[in-house]
Amino acid sequence: MPINDSGQREIGVGLIGLGVVGGGVARALIERRDYFARQVGASIVVRRAAVRDANKQRTVDLPPGVISTSVDDVLTDPSIDIVVEVIGGEEPAGAYIRAAIAAGKHVVTANKELIAKSGPELLAEAHARGLDIMFEASVGGGIPLIAPLRRDLLANRITSIRAIINGTTNYILTSMAREGAVAEALRKQGIEPATRGGYADALADAQQLGYAEPDPTNDVEGYDAAFKLAIMASLGFRTRVHPSQIHTEGITRLTSRDFQYAHELGYVIKLLAIAEVIDSGIIARVAPAFLPQDEPLAKVDGVYNAVQVVGDLTGTVLFQGRGAGADPTSSAVVADLLDLAHAIVLGNRERKYWGPEGEIPVLGLDALETRYYIRVGVTDRPGVLAQIAQLLGAHGVSIAAVNQKEADADARTAERVIMTHRARERDVQAAIGEIASLSTVGQVSAFLRVEG
């Protein structure tokens, strides 16, 4: 390990990517260098930063010669001990990380997709060489989640992880809920609200504010949350949950009416990422859901994230904070860097905290039992409700409450909002299939789980 002029040992860092997160990491390493050196017993130095465009304006000043347009400059530099990958996406990031490991370098990454899909294999490659891959920044930005799941909760048998883990969608849903509440208040005063308050308006606002990307698919379809849930569930349950095993629904079909009815019934709508251990396996899902207003996660609004973990020794533990952005995410990357630097200084290298204990089966939603909210457009005439109730009853689904909404006397149409008691998903789905084919039913407009 090189020694600098002040007699301190130096640990070299190479960045792949110098965008929002990479720039934040470089800035923190430069501005807080002395503090970090005191904490880990070595000076951490950015030796190289690989970028696509060397002429781009940066938010951080790096010494001449550090910025390069060649990733090989990072991967082949013998003075680099730790490579930080912050470009995201499966490839070429995966190839770069493998090359870094092959070159004997530890890795810190913020890459949720890659870790969710290939984390165990990449860690095995690293551990076989006495190296480590750290990925705190891959889930929940600045909220400590990976270290608690990997290490601090290790003594527990974790039975449930419930999370709001995507800031973009939480911002959109919070906006829709607020517009829905305003609309409801106006209607109560006999005033028909303006048409704002739908999904498209809320998404457009989030894009204007930089909370949603120009192509929001990854966030609004729930994929980003599913990657993060796969990582948390794999670590927490000490098994392997692949993103493809997670039932994933997005938020694009929600309407302001669902928010209005949720509010009236004492619920909020959140995109929830839930993984639970039941007797026969794990059920994992990302979907918009009704949540009682008094649940802690129901109060997590805007771009904030929160994760509720239940351990058999700890009981419920709640983590909450900013799940994205340059500063929170760089906090997580730098924490991993400091941890690795300290381990290098101490001479002990990889920490084997992924630790699967065997494969727990991941079950389909058929095995789920919960309560359900169903909104159905119907012909408003005698006997329609009885038909719907009969089909639900025939499948063993018991109705807890039913309301008639938005009746249009001229068109003789109405909306029925049905809340069920606890029921099996396979039974509810079978009943809904039959309800949708009734001649008196226009469509089943919404179907949401009640997760309370």
Q: Which residues bind ligand HSE (CB under 6 A)?
A: 166-168, 219, 224, 323-324
Residue placing its CB nearer to ligand HSE in the complex, 97 or 172: 172
Q: Rounded CA gap, 63 and 421, in Å?
A: 64
**Shortest-Cβ-distance residue relative to ligand HSE:** 167
Which SS3 state, helix, strand or coil, does residue 285 take? strand
Residue placing its CB nearer to ligand HSE in the complex, 311 or 323: 323
Catalytic, 228? Answer yes
Q: Position 123: which residue type?
A: L
For residue 13, give Cα distances in angstroms to 70, 83, 333: 15, 6, 12
Give which of 123, 50, 136, 107 is closest to 333, Cα–Cα. Answer: 136
Alpha helices (H) in 54-166, listed in sequence order: 71-75, 93-102, 112-128, 146-147
Residue placing its CB nearer to ligand HSE in the complex, 215 or 410: 215
Give which of 158, 358, 124, 116 is closest to 242, Cα–Cα. Answer: 116
What pairs with residue 216 in β-bridges?
A: none
Shortest distance, position 167 Cβ to ligand HSE, whole Å: 3
Shortest distance, position 288 Cβ to ligand HSE, whole Å: 15
Shortest distance, position 102 Cβ to ligand HSE, whole Å: 28
Catalytic residue among 228, 270, 299, 352: 228
Shortest distance, position 130 Cβ to ligand HSE, whole Å: 30
For residue 332, give Cα distances in angstroms to 136, 232, 286, 287, 350: 6, 16, 24, 27, 18
Residue placing its CB nearer to ligand HSE in the complex, 109 or 168: 168
Residue placing its CB nearer to ligand HSE in the complex, 217 or 280: 217
Shortest distance, position 333 Cβ to ligand HSE, whole Å: 13
Alpha helices (H) in 50-91, listed in sequence order: 71-75
**Residue that the structure tokens 């019934």 belong to:** 265
Tokens of 326: 């340059």
Catalytic residue numbers? 228
